[in-house]
Structure 1
Amino acid sequence: MSDFNTTLNQALTEDEESFLRRLDDEPGLFEQMGNAFQGKLRFWTVYLFVMSFTLFGAAIYCFWQLFNAETTRELILWATGVWCLFLAVGLSKIWFWMRMNHLAMLREIKRVELYLAKNGSV
């Protein structure tokens, strides 16, 4: 075995191998969403998930107020609020999907790492 393979085998700890065994099956959408709420970024994921619902509620409120506006100025302000809040909701959802994509890429990289460690070469 080469020095690279020896170093790679030493780098794989038992925790990583158990993590990889858990990832052998391709998870479904809801399982991937659940996995996004684990790990070091779980606080930010939960925070952003809650904030997206809050922002959505605020956007609906602004949209409702848009119909009750009496002046053109109020109409423009409420419409700007709707636009900005829906944009914020969309950006938070994009972050969440990027987090899920990050975890899927990590899973694939770990699979390749384990394959190389076990077989020695491609």
Structure 2
Amino acid sequence: MNKLDSAIRQALSAEDAAFLAKFEDQSPLHEALGTFSGKWGVMNVFAALVTFAMFGAAVFCAWNAFTETEVRDTILWSAGVVLAMLAVAMLKMYFWMEINKNVTLREVKRLELQVARLAAHDKAQS
């Protein structure tokens, strides 16, 4: 925490400080689970299910690639592994972007609240 954060916290009342405490950083698990709420929650649940399905498909393709005796079939099953794992990787990047969006949005809301509180405080003093 820097000097500005300390000065803002000292200027806020106990009620304001308690309200701002809700916007503090959360654990990574809480951040990840937070993607399943809100407007895009249903879409994110669907994306999570697709991620698990693609991982299952990759395992299935890998198993068949190792048990296949023909070279052509082994190559095709291996291509399935690669494509399924690419889908898993892209969906994981989607979730990381969702988490980043939620963190950024929370910080912007926190700053908006601090500016509004300071503006109200300045208005009350004048």
TM-score, scaled to structure 2: 0.75
Specify the alignment match of 2:77 in structure 1: 78
Q: CA deviation at 1:21?
A: 4.6
- Structure 2 counterpart of 1:66, one-letter code: A
Q: CA deviation at 1:69?
A: 1.6
Q: CA deviation at 1:43?
A: 0.7
Kindly report structure 1 stretches of 4+ aligned residues shifted beyond 2 Å. 20-25
- Structure 2 counterpart of 1:31, one-letter code: H
Any unmatched runs of 5+ in structure 1? 1-19
The verdict on how the C-alpha distance between 1:31 and 1:84 changes in structure 2, with shifts beyond 3 A counting, is: same
Specify the alignment match of 1:23 in structure 2: 22
Specify the alignment match of 2:114 in structure 1: 115
When the two chains are superposed, the root-mean-square deviation of aligned CA atoms in Å is: 1.7
Q: CA deviation at 1:91?
A: 0.7
TM-score, scaled to structure 1: 0.78
* More deviation, 25-34/78-87: 25-34
* Whole-Å separation in 1 of the counterparts to 2:87 and 2:108: 31
* Whole-Å separation in 2 of the counterparts to 1:24 and 1:60: 40
Q: CA deviation at 1:30?
A: 1.1
In the alignment of these two chains, the number of paired residues is 102
